[in-house]
Structure 1
Amino acid sequence: MSTLEKKIDFVAFVSVTMANGNGDPLNGNRPRTDYNGFGEISDVCIKRKIRNRMQDLGHKIFVQSEYRSDDGFGSLSERASSVMKNIKDRDLYTKMACETWMDVRTFGQVFAFKDTKGVSCGVRGPVSIHQAISISPVEIESMQITKSVNGEKKDKGESIASDRMGMKHFVRFGLYKIKGSINTQLAEKTGFSYEDAQVVKECLRTMFINDASAARPDGSMEVVKLYWFEHNSKDGQYSSAKIHRSVSAVLKPDVMVPSSIEDYDISVEPLEGLHVEEMEGI
């Protein structure tokens, strides 16, 4: 494994078509939006998808979805204890966690469980990801749906059980911008390597493989473009903010309501001395 010697920034554009990219549980699972109608996908949701792809690629993951658990453990504390059992030294505990699980050395993790015998620590990960925001306001549609059979026995006087009725919400179309960075100083502390960075890049490019569901049918979510910036120094040639601003998507002049990626012009402002790798996503 080679040490990460260069700061990395990245920008990805994700399209959502007739799907719920990230539902809000406090709002009836409607797609997330801000007060101005722009769509949102939380950074937690994006990291979940990256973790799932890491797992698909054969890497050990600490924060596993319950339905994707591949080691039989039902909680994070059990998973932590299986590796760091009886370790009381905080530095050794952190070192082993970073070496064992790729997502810990990538995103960081707080270890504070009852069965760690007094050991608690926090790991700051080198990969930071912003929540994704849509380029234009999104149009959300709601559809009432029914089941063909009662889930529960219907109450007296009911023609059908109340749980037969439900709602499904989706974004008609939205183009979302994901921004992120990889910090070399934090990478040194967690052991995050250049090879690990290449895994993150591939996970971003293929983020929606094996992610289909009733709310996100296959083909409804796509990584349209991924832009990968590798600096020539640890601190970087430009600020992350400037690099993220250099990549933009603008609605074409004759389009009022976007309905596909073709309604946008995506461009990258060249920054002297900084190479950008442009990739098609999946």
Structure 2
Amino acid sequence: MNNEIKRATGLLVIEVVNSNANGDPDRESDPRQRPNGCGEISPVSFKRKLRDLLDDHDAPFFKALPEKFRENEEHYYILEHRGRERAQIKSEMGKDPSQFLDSEFVRKYWDARVFGNTFLEDGGDKGFIKTGVVQFGMGVSLAPIDIIRQTNTNKAGVQEGKNAGMAPLAYRIVEHGVYCMPFFVNPNYAAKSGCTADDIELLKLLIPHAYEQNRSAIRPDVRIRHAWYIEHKNILGSCPEYLLLDALAPEKRGNKTDPSTSWNDYEDKTALPQELLARVESCVDLVSL
């Protein structure tokens, strides 16, 4: 089934409205920001949203997935689940690397098949998987972002006498930003990780719901405006990927160094130009699907 996976280039266009899409632990959970003022959303952060969506098999979201996934839920567990025991993982991987693709580990963990595995990379034991079929790049805002910092208040303080009812500057959000995050599907690694065409199909189903099904108090309004998925005509790639990414990225109107205030500040791209479309197998927006 591995040979059914097609090479693909993807681009997420993410709008952040009065939310913190990805806090920086090195800066007291401020929204991630580069020295030039542009915001960031890390690949790890986005993949965590996908993992969390799939991790809860009792949730309405999982029960709404197509039948072939629901009826085979034992194949769609998450490796990077909190509290996972390392000894258990080692036993599931087996001792013979030549039998790895037939192991319980490969059959069980969707994220290890798709994203690869660094879970066991400590000391001298590096496991069997080096990388995955799907890689997400850094999401970077198209313009600098304004960060708003305010104090959270609570009617009843947690500790008496210590800023009772207040968390100084705990509310840190991006007023508005539009981020582009590329991702890449490389079937060349499928035979090493055990990734299947069904695994990629599930990924495509998860992506549009990554934020809307994972809202939080600090992240109430993060919108995936587009989730472009472009399949190539061959495994080597039928068009340079940077051309596809550049063609679908929105463009900010006016002064590009000023933070945006709404989606209307951008010129949206709603289709791939015909000359590039002719060079690929297909181009779809997973959000509209």
TM class, shorter-chain normalised? Answer: 0.7 to 0.9
Using the TM superposition, give the Cα deviation of residue 149 of structure 1 relative to its aligned residue in structure 2, in angstroms: 2.6
CA distance in 2, matches of 1:266, 1:164: 41
1:273 partnered with 2:279: yes
**TM-score, normalised on structure 2?**
0.81
Which stretch shows the higher mean deviation, 74-83 or 32-41?
74-83
- 1:209-248 alpha-carbon deviations (Å, 9 max, x no partner): 331111112xx11111111111111111023223222212
Unaligned runs of 5+ in 1: 67-73, 155-159
* 1:6 and 1:236 in contact (8 A); partners too: no
Quote the residue 1:165 is aligned against: 167
Q: Which among 83, 86, 101 is matched to residue 92 of structure 2? A: 83
Q: In structure 2, do the counterparts of structure 1 residues 144 and 260 end up closer, same or farther at CA, with 3 Å as the change threshold?
A: same
RMSD: 2.8
Using the TM superposition, give the Cα deviation of residue 279 of structure 1 relative to its aligned residue in structure 2, in angstroms: 3.8
Q: In structure 2, do the counterparts of structure 1 residues 118 and 244 end up closer, same or farther at CA, with 3 Å as the change threshold?
A: closer
Which stretch shows the higher mean deviation, 27-36 or 205-214?
205-214
**Letter in structure 2 aligned against 1:244:** L
* 2:15 and 2:225 in contact (8 A); partners too: yes
Q: Aligned runs of 1:62-81 on 2, under 5 Å?
A: 62-64=79-81, 66=82, 74-81=83-90
**Letter in structure 2 aligned against 1:77:** R
Q: In structure 2, do the counterparts of structure 1 residues 172 and 3 end up closer, same or farther at CA, with 3 Å as the change threshold?
A: same
CA distance in 1, matches of 2:238, 2:126: 39
Q: Which among 264, 267, 282 is matched to residue 266 of structure 2? A: 264
* 2:251 and 2:266 in contact (8 A); partners too: yes
Which stretch shows the higher mean deviation, 8-17 or 48-57?
48-57
CA distance in 2, matches of 1:192, 1:122: 11
* 2:239 and 2:279 in contact (8 A); partners too: no
Q: Aligned runs of 1:101-120 on 2, under 5 Å?
A: 101-112=109-120, 120=127
CA distance in 1, matches of 2:39, 2:14: 12
**Would you tell me which structure has more strand in proportion to its own residues?**
1
**Letter in structure 1 aligned against 2:89:** A
Quote the residue 2:107 is aligned against: 99
**Letter in structure 2 aligned against 1:248:** A
Using the TM superposition, give the Cα deviation of residue 251 of structure 1 relative to its aligned residue in structure 2, in angstroms: 1.6
Using the TM superposition, give the Cα deviation of residue 203 of structure 1 relative to its aligned residue in structure 2, in angstroms: 1.4
* 2:139 and 2:181 in contact (8 A); partners too: yes
* 2:149 and 2:173 in contact (8 A); partners too: yes
**TM-score, normalised on structure 1?**
0.83
1:189 partnered with 2:214: no
Q: Aligned runs of 1:10-89 on 2, under 5 Å?
A: 10-56=10-56, 57=62, 59-64=76-81, 66=82, 74-81=83-90, 83-84=92-93, 87-89=94-96
**Letter in structure 2 aligned against 1:258:** S
Paired residues, number: 264
Q: Which among 156, 159, 169 is matched to residue 149 of structure 1? A: 156
**Letter in structure 1 aligned against 2:42:** S
CA distance in 1, matches of 2:90, 2:5: 33
Q: In structure 2, do the counterparts of structure 1 residues 240 and 254 end up closer, same or farther at CA, with 3 Å as the change threshold?
A: closer
Quote the residue 1:198 is aligned against: 201
Q: What SS does the aligned partner of 1:121 have? A: coil
Using the TM superposition, give the Cα deviation of residue 273 of structure 1 relative to its aligned residue in structure 2, in angstroms: 2.8
Quote the residue 1:222 is aligned against: 223
**Letter in structure 1 aligned against 2:25:** P
* 2:133 and 2:195 in contact (8 A); partners too: yes
CA distance in 1, matches of 2:251, 2:125: 53
Identity, % of aligned pairs?
A: 22
Quote the residue 1:157 is aligned against: none
CA distance in 2, matches of 1:103, 1:263: 36
Unaligned runs of 5+ in 2: 57-61, 63-72
Q: Aligned runs of 1:123-134 on 2, under 5 Å?
A: 123-134=130-141
